[in-house]
Amino acid sequence: MPGTPQPGSVGVLRSRSPQILGLVAKGSFGTILKVLDCGREKVCAVKVMPKVEVLRRDTLKQCKEEVSIQRQVRHPFVHGLGDSWQGQRHLFIMCTYCSTGDLHALWRAAGRFAEATVRLFAAELVLVLVYLHDLGIVHRDVKMENILLDERGHLKLADFGLSRHLRWGERAHTICGTLQYMAPEVLSGGPYSHAADWWSLGVLLFALASGEFPVAPAGDHVAMLERVNRSSYASPPALSPALARLLAELLCHNPLRRLRYLHHFQDHPFFWGVTFDADLLQKDPVAVAVAPRPPEPPSPTPDPSTFDDFDCDLTATAPPDQPWPG
């Protein structure tokens, strides 16, 4: 990792004095906060990881890989990195805050999507996965919860916490990801490659189009592998033949036979009439994503004292100007 602050990062960020606005999510990885970048008057999301937990879980190398990858990628359908820095007790990764939410929340509200919407979302995800794989990056956690929506309803692939650089011909063996989306070769402990992301895309598209996952979740990777191996992954009869064929060619147990290259999708009957160009795909808003939704209970404006006892050195100034650990 670079050992010097990146332009516009550590020192500048500290001078902006980010103000905590609320809690976005909390999990085993740490906490995601909604903050106001006061200097730019911009709302952002900050992933907060306690150093003691990073060391206890022996995930420092993966944290460095996450930031390295997000600094490297620049794509319209990637949720890009804003800043990264460290305090005395925490590591921080800051990104743009997506107020529209994630694809999973939209899917739960919609039940399932029309094939035209599935086609658009699929094309956007194909472009970003091809881009990542061309850079030698495997995401390893492609799922609805990790896909955010911008203000026009287009997708932003997020959370590179499990991603890694994987050269062509190299193989991985770590069992990681989300069970319902994990390819059989990942569930079995490898070896696996970038093709695992295409299986995850197949699971995601199956759920978007049908309203349900192809295989029910299991309690662990061994039981999940048994279910995956027993399943035929037959598409519901309501799906068009072209979409059913696409799903069958993504949810193929043999990773060498899965669709994986851009021309495979450009020539596929499900994508006839689609131009795989990011600018053209983003030309119009996605109706189902920007349509009014049932109002959620309003979140009260947090009192500043709400986070007084929050153990987070977000705006700590000692030691000053610390770059990401290198």
Write the pLDDT tens digit of every residue in 248-273. 999 999 999 999 999 999 999 999 99
Give domain status of residue 312, yes or no: no
Classify burial at 313, counting beta carbons within 10 Å of its beta carbon; exposed 0-12, middle 13-18, buried 19 or more. middle
Evaluate whether residue 315 is within a structural domain.
no
Structure confidence at residue 293 (pLDDT): 58
Number of domains in the chain: 2
The pairing of strands 81-86 and 42-50 is unpaired
- 237 assigned to some structural domain: yes
Are 19 and 58 in the same domain? yes
What is the span of the domain harbouring residue 79?
10-97+299-307
**CA angle, corner 210, sides to 208 and 214, nearest 5?**
90
Q: In this model, does residue 40 exceed pLDDT 80? A: no
Shared-domain flag, residues 139 and 280? yes
Residue 320 lies in a domain: no
Same domain? For 163 and 254 the reply is yes
Instruction: Identify whether 159 is a catalytic site residue.
Output: no
Are residues 109 and 52 both part of a single domain?
Answer: no
- Is the peptide bond prior to 302 cis by the omega test (within 30 degrees of 0)? no
Residues 122 and 27 in one domain: no
Tokens of 95: 């990104």
* Res 53 pLDDT > 50: yes
Q: What whole-number distance in Å separates Cα of residue 128 and Cα of residue 139? A: 10
**Which one is catalytic: 37, 83, 141, 197?**
141
CA distance 47 to 29: 9
Answer yes or no: do 92 and 124 share one domain: no
Residue 295: pLDDT band with limits 50, 70, 90? low
Residues 74-126: tens digit of each pLDDT: 999 999 888 888 888 899 998 888 888 899 999 999 999 999 999 999 999 99
Report the alpha-carbon distance of residue 150 to residue 89 in Å, rounded.
32
- Is the pLDDT score of 186 beyond 80? yes
Residues 80 and 116 in one domain: no
According to the model, what pLDDT value does residue 312 have?
56
Asked if residue 230 belongs to a domain, the reply is yes
67: three-class secondary structure by DSSP: helix
